[in-house]
Amino acid sequence: MKLSGTELAELANLAIDAATAAGEMIARSRPKLIEHKSSGGSLASQVVTEVDRRSEAIILQTLNPTLRRFELGLLTEEQPDDGGRFRTNYFWCIDPIDGTLPFIEGTPGYAVAIALVRGDGAPTIGVVYDPVGETVVHAIAGAGVFRNGRPWDLQSSSGAALSLFTDKSFLSSEGRDQITTALEEVARDMGLTGLHVDASAGAVMNACKVLANPRACYVKLPKQNGGGSLWDYAATACIFSEAGAVATDIYGQCFDLNRADSTFMCHRGILFATDETLAQRIRTLFRSNQ
């Protein structure tokens, strides 16, 4: 069943309501119990709090009724992948708190992310709620991107520096020097004054920060296991598409947001960029350095 524009708008409004309710709860909360999952990957992917689970419960209270009504699948970070996403034309992809480490530390950089993904992996709805800024950004495929319900006018002027937004694990990663050296070269070639690195947020807020800056990117090198999952990128992939910005793998291919063999997304790298010109320069440089 292909969803109509009216149905997508209804589902987007429900996702906004769910993300906002969860985000408002998160803003009032501090984690009392921190658990460690058995899965591998970075520390950020291994920690979970009781607030993550409460956020998920709030979201599902709103979205669960849509599963039967619209014949939707469900993939959410804090529950096992039951494969239902392969048996439906669309599925919800939910991250109850992206950026759990900033949340635990009490610093900005965390968000609620909800996406509706088509069976072929195309992002169809993207909703992000920032509990710190009390801001909701959403997009519907073909209908544009909105910030607090109004069309979002993105930055277009030239910036003094190229900004790299990335997570804290980047600072100790094996690829840090390769990425920073490459991006410093990109900045020089584009006539910018240098490279500014911000490693304070999770994947979702990193992507939102890219959109809020005139020359910016978020880059991850290919990694076979770990490095971010479907729920980390699905919502912002839709938002970037509607904003006319770039969200692809490091080779320029669209994200496979319904990957069959894993929920991990960094097997072909991650690239969010403000525009295609910047993205092409980054891709070319990384390909030449491989």
Q: Domains in the chain and their CATH numbers?
A: 5-151 (3.30.540.10), 162-289 (3.40.190.80)
Whole-Å CA distances, 37 to 28, 74, 108, 156, 262: 24, 20, 23, 41, 17
Query: What confidence score (pLDDT) does residue 119 get?
Result: 97
Query: What confidence score (pLDDT) does residue 290 get?
Result: 60
Q: Which two tokens stand for residue 60?
A: 């599902």
Q: Which two tokens stand for residue 221?
A: 């090198």
Please answer whether residues 175 and 72 qualify as being in contact, where contact means their C-beta atoms are separated by less than 8 angstroms.
Answer: no
Q: Which two tokens stand for residue 266?
A: 């960094």
Query: What confidence score (pLDDT) does residue 57 get?
Result: 98
The residue ranges of the chain whose pLDDT is under 50 are 40, 43
Whole-Å CA distances, 221 to 91, 230, 289: 27, 16, 12
What is the rounded CA–CA span in Å between residue 234 and residue 92? 10
Rounded to the nearest 10°, the torsion over CA 124, 282, 210, 227 is 70
Stretch (H or E) spanning 188: helix 176-189
Q: What is the pTM of this model?
A: 0.94
> What are the pLDDT digits (tens) for 184-211?
999 999 999 999 999 999 999 999 999 9
Query: What confidence score (pLDDT) does residue 17 get?
Result: 98
